[in-house]
Chains A and B, each alone.
Chain A
Amino acid sequence: MMISVQNLYYAYGRKEIFNNITLQADTGCIYGLLGKNGTGKTTFLHNLAGLLFPSKGSINIAGYSPKDRLPSFLKQIFMVPEEFYLPDMPVKSFAKHTGRFYPLFAQDHFVTCLDEFGISQNANLQNLSFGQKKKVLISFALATNTRLLLMDEPTNGLDIIGKSQLRKIIASSFDDNKCIIISSHQVKDLENLVDRVIIIDEGRIILNESLSRISEKLSFKISFDSAEIGWAIYNERLLRGHAVVSINIDDFESKIDLELLYKATMANPKLIQSIFNS
């Protein structure tokens, strides 16, 4: 396993953030980490990166304990924080001086990603807008080719086109030797991108399932049938009909609506857990 989190506890002073979290994650998968604001998504990513140390429990990533922050560990991970820092220098120089710390850094891939985002290599970082800087950092992160990539709210600050470009670039940069964990409270942004969904709430993981298993167990559809709406796990009134999440009894794999899944899980966590545990 690339990532093994065992019985993780974390608290800010007396405020408990995580209570006994256990999680395994492997390469070849893009994880979507969902949760309300303030549920600890960022804290979880910071624990994985070794920026915060667990109060109890252990984290093992590729054989390393993140809190040691050894260079051989750090060159295998990259984190795109929600609030980030980029120095005052041209984009090209930033890549030159920082990229060489990452043995698998691919300059040509960096340029490809920048081109996709429509940013010039010769631009100075300080002259770029927040969204453009974020695009540079995301391009750099993907070009480092690290085994583990942590992205905290990567779509914040990106325009609609930028979000779409981000999904495209991540998908094209991904391979089976990598593991990407993307946290977001904007669930829609992760659609058609993630392979597995992790939902955190009140210090616990309430759902950790692959999309294939979710579509096997749950059904997502628009319904006009009042009986079906009545026994759905979750329903939401639309302009026409209701969007419903129900148990997939027909073995028909519907298209997963991440936002509905998230809402259904938050509304009925125990029921959802029992469905996946059965």
Chain B
Amino acid sequence: MNDVINIYRLYMLIARHWFENRRLYILFLSAIIVLLSGWFIFFLLVGNPFLFSHNNQLIIYFMGLFISGCLSAAFLIRDFSNKPQKINYLLLPAAAFEKLTCILFYGVFLFFIAYTVIFYATDFFALKMANSTIAGLMTSNSRDALQWRQQFGITQPLNPASMVNVFSPGAGSFIFSPGDNIELFTAFFPLQSAFILGSIYFRKNSLFKTIVALLGCFLLFFIINGKILMPLFPRSSQIFGTFTVLRTFDGDGTERIYSLPSWIGQTAGFLVTYLITPVLWLATYYRLKENEI
């Protein structure tokens, strides 16, 4: 058991990793602060009070999360980027499971918390500034204030903009429908895990190679679906649900629906939602364990 996980050794590994990489992490988080602040400052300069809607806040949150999350996963795990660093990392007396736990602790857990805290902190100040500016313009009768109200068609007092709860299923309608934000979380973690695996799997240019590999997987999926599976069904057929419902039309235009038992769809949905991330972590573990220089 001592060769699989040892809490004190894991603590030493986490502490060493922080001490070795803290400048890089601080620089990376500072860059996120600057980017998010820049985005909100742009909104403030535009002056449109509706830009601070929950929808827009969600878009900023998720765009930032996806971009910085994948970049951090690809760049922050630098130990595999060159041979000397790899030797240093592989020969450090810690188990592969502990090394993986350390990677996930910083790359997934701490990154997610730090990013969310940074988002809320910048969002809080941006909303405070926006609300005080809007309140001033609403009560003022100056020429600028009148022009501003006319420009954005404001005739009634506006409610102050509030911070969005990114974890609430009812947070805004986002782009498509309520609850999409939760689905984006379930898409983010597998994607970030794929970049973590890519940073260990590929020796050089792991970011670009991971992007190409992921696009290749998507392309393969669409080719199999569009060119191999769909031609098996009658023309104009459509597939819904978790690939469990098929709609076809007879020659006279009669619609026919074929569906698999609902448990198959639910099981497939569950597997896609919750199992891809652990499976990718497991693949990362084995890649880490069996890695040669």
Contact = CB atoms under 8 A, between A and B. Distances in A.
Interface of A: 46, 49-53, 69-72, 74-75, 77-79, 81, 83-89, 93, 97-98, 100-102
A83 B83 contact: yes
A87 B20 contact: yes
Interface in B66-92: 82-85, 87-88, 90-92
Q: Which of B2, B12, B92, B96 has the most CB of A within 10 A?
A: B92
Contact of B2 (A71, A74, A84, A86): A71
Contact of B94 (A71, A77, A84, A88): A71
A84 B87 contact: yes
B9 A71 contact: yes
B16 A79 contact: no
A84 B19 contact: no
Q: Which of A71, A75, A88, A102 has the most CB of B within 10 A?
A: A71
B92 to A, nearest CB: 6
Nearest to A96: B19
A100 B91 CA distance: 14
Contacts of B91: 49-51, 69, 74, 77-79
**SS class of chain A's interface: helix, strand, loop or mixed?**
loop
Contacts of B2: 71-72
Interface of B: 2-3, 6, 9, 12, 15-16, 19-20, 23, 82-85, 87-88, 90-96, 98, 289, 292-293
Contact of B85 (A69, A85, A101): A85
A156 B88 CA distance: 19
B88 A84 contact: yes
Given A88-B23, A98-B16, A51 B292 contact: yes
Contacts of B94: 71, 74, 101
B3 A85 contact: no
A85 B93 contact: no
A51 B87 contact: yes
A98 B6 CA distance: 16
A53 B90 contact: no
Contact of A85 (B12, B87, B289): B87
Given A51-B87, A71-B9, A101-B12, 13 more contacts: A51-B292, A69-B90, A69-B91, A71-B94, A71-B98, A77-B91, A85-B85, A87-B20, A93-B19, A97-B16, A97-B19, A98-B92, A102-B93
Given A51-B292, A52-B292, A89 B9 contact: no
B161 to A, nearest CB: 43
Given A70-B3, A85-B85, A101 B93 contact: yes
A69 B288 CA distance: 11
Contact of A97 (B20, B82, B88): B20
A52 B16 contact: no
Contacts of A74: 91-94
Contacts of B9: 71, 101
